Amino acid sequence: MTRTTIKKTYKLYIGGQFPRTESGRYYPLLDKKKNVIADICLASRKDFRNAVVAARSAFGGWSSRFAFNRSQILYRIAEMMEGRKAQFLEELLVQGSSKVNAEKEITLSIDRLVYYAGWCDKYQQISSSVNPVASSHFNFSVPEPTGVVAIVAPQNSSLIGIISVVAPVIAGGNVCIVLASEKFPLCAITFAEVLATSDLPGGVVNILTGKISELLTHMSSHMDVNALVYAGKDQKEITLAKENASLNVKRVFVYDDVWEKGTAQSPHFILDVQEIKTTWHPIENVGAAGAKY
C-alpha cells in the first residue's frame, strides 16, 4: 500500500508566527491541469495591519543589531536554504518551472543572500562621509535604515524575486512586510519557514499571500509604513501607490529589474531604503598649537 503523503498547509508569516489569515479566506493555487496544488491564504487588510505592528516592534532591535551580527544572520538564512533546496525545487516544478531553470533559480537565490550578507557591514562605508565644514565642528553623515518597508514582490517569480527585494531591505536594518507573488506563492511561504529556523528575529520579515488589488491601497496608505518597494510595471498600481504614499510622505521605489540576471543585485538596493543622518559636534581648540582660549 502506498503511503499517503502529508500535504503542507501554506499559511502567513507574521511576527515570527504562522497564522492563518484572520479573514478565513483562501484562494486555490492550480497547476497547469487545473488541479489544486494548495489553498493559499488570501490575506486581508487586517493581516497587513497586524504585520505592520509586528514589524514596527521588531525594528528597534533589528536596526540596532551590530552589522556583523546582521551579516551572520543573512548568511545563516542562506545556509538554511541550502538545506531546503529539495523543497524549493519541488515547489518551483509544481508551479511550472523547468528543472534546469528551477535549480538555477535556487542557487542564484542562495548566492544572492550570501551577496547581501556580505554587504551588511560594508554599505555604510561606501555611503558615509566626513564633511569638511568651515567651522570648528566635526561633522559626519551615515546611512540609517528607513524603518518599516512594505514590499510588493515581483509577480513573475516565486523565489528569486522575493529574495532579491527582501534581502537588501533587511541587510540595511529595516523590517518589512512583503506581499508574495499571487501567481507563484509557494516558495515565499517555504522561505518563511527558512527564516523561522534561521536566527532572524520574528517580525523582521513578514510574509503575506493575497491580491495586490486588495492590499496595495493599504500598503501604500498605512501611516506607520515608512517606505514602499514595488516590483512591477503596472502603471495604474504605481500611480495608486505613489498617490497614497503622499499621505505620510512615504518613500516609494519602483523596480522592474529582471531578477534572474546575475547582475540584478547591488548595494544601491540597500541604500535606497536608507536615510542619511548628519551629526555635528564642536571641536574644542585649546592646547598645543591651537591654544587660543
Partner 1 sequence: MNTKTTTEKKKPKLDFDSGWNYSPSPESTGHIRLEKRYDHFINGQFVKPAGGKYFPSINPATEKVIAEVAYGDERDIDKAVKAARNAYEKVWKKMPGAERGKYLYRIARIMQERARELAVIESMDGGKTIRESRDVDTPLAAAHFFYYAGWADKLEYAFPNRKISPVGVAGQIIPWNFPLLMAAWKIAPALACGNCVVLKPAETTPLTAMKLAEIIRDAGLPPGVVNIVNGDGKAGAALVNHKDVDKIAFTGSTDVGKIIQRAIAGTKKKATLELGGKAANIIFEDAAIDQAVEGIINGIFFNQGHVCCAGSRLFVQESVAEVVIRKLKDRMSTLIVGDPLDKNTDIGAINSKEQLGKINEYLKIGVDEGAEMWQSKCSIPSNGFFCRPTIFLNVSQSHRIVQEEIFGPVLAIQTFRTIDEVIEKANNTPFGLSAGVWTDKGSKIFNLTSKLRAGVVWANTYNKFDPTSPFGGYKESGFGREGGLHGLQPYLNLK
Partner 2 sequence: MKNTFDFHNTPVIDQVGVEERVARFNSRSIKKTSKVEGLKLALSMIDLTTLEGKDTEGKVRQMCYKAQHPHDELPGLPTVAAVCVYPTFVKLAKKELGNSGVQVASVATAFPSGQSTLKVKLDDTKFAVESGADEVDMVISRGEFLAGNYNFVFDEIAEIKNACGNARLKVILETGELSTLDNVRRASEIAMRAGADFIKTSTGKISPAATQPVTLVMLEAIRDYYYETGIMIGMKPAGGISTAKIALQYLVMVKETLGNAWLNNIWFRFGASSLANDILMQLCKEATGVYQGADYFSKD
Smallest separation (angstroms) from partner 1 to the CB of 248: 6
Smallest separation (angstroms) from partner 1 to the CB of 246: 4
- Picked from partner 2, partner 1, none, the partner binding residue 293 (CB below 5 to 8 A depending on kind) is partner 2
Cβ-based nearer residue to partner 2, 249 or 291? 291
> Scanning residues 42 to 71, which ones bind partner 1 (CB under 8 A)?
64
- Picked from partner 2, partner 1, none, the partner binding residue 110 (CB below 5 to 8 A depending on kind) is none
Cβ-based nearer residue to partner 2, 66 or 140? 140
**Per CB under 8 A, 136 contacts partner 2:** yes
Can you give the three-state secondary structure of the chain, one letter per residue?
A: CCCCCCCCCECCEECCECCCCCCCCEEEEECCCCCEEEEEECCCHHHHHHHHHHHHHHHHHHHCCCHHHHHHHHHHHHHHHHHCHHHHHHHHHHCCCCHHHHHHHHHHHHHHHHHHHHHCCCHHHHHCEECCCCCCEEEEEEEEECCEEEEECCCCCCCHHHHHHHHHHHHCCCEEEEECCCCCCHHHHHHHHHHHHCCCCCCCEEEECCCHHHHHHHHHHCCCCCEEEEECCCHHHHHHHHHHHHHHCCEEEEECCCCCCCCCCCHHHHHHCEEEEEEEEECCCCCHHHCCC
**Per CB under 8 A, 20 contacts partner 1:** no
Q: Out of 129, 258, 261, 285, which residue is the one contacting partner 1 (CB under 8 A)? A: 129
Q: Out of 1, 6, 223, 286, which residue is the one contacting partner 2 (CB under 8 A)? A: 286
Tell me, residue by residue from 150 to 189, as one string, x for binding to partner 1 by CB under 8 A and - for no binding.
----------------------------------------
Part of the chain binding partner 2 (CB under 8 A), chosen from 73-81, 166-174, 198-206, 277-285: 277-285
The three cell numbers locating residue 76: 545563516
Cβ-based nearer residue to partner 2, 7 or 293? 293
Give Cα separations from 210 to 57, 134, 216, 259 (angstroms): 23, 54, 10, 21
Tell me, residue by residue from 267 to 286, as one string, x for binding to partner 1 by CB under 8 A and - for no binding.
-x------xxxxxxxx----
**Per CB under 8 A, 86 contacts partner 2:** no
Pairwise CA distance, residues 102 & 125, whole Å: 35
- Contact (CB, 8 A) for 169 and 229: yes
Pairwise CA distance, residues 169 & 133, whole Å: 31
Cβ-based nearer residue to partner 1, 141 or 285? 141
Tell me, residue by residue from 229 to 248, as one string, x for binding to partner 1 by CB under 8 A and - for no binding.
------x--xxxxxx-xxxx
**Per CB under 8 A, 141 contacts partner 1:** yes
The residues binding partner 1 (CB under 8 A) are: 64, 126, 129, 131-135, 137, 139, 141, 144, 146-147, 226, 235, 238-243, 245-249, 251, 268, 275-282
The residues binding partner 2 (CB under 8 A) are: 136-137, 282-287, 291-293
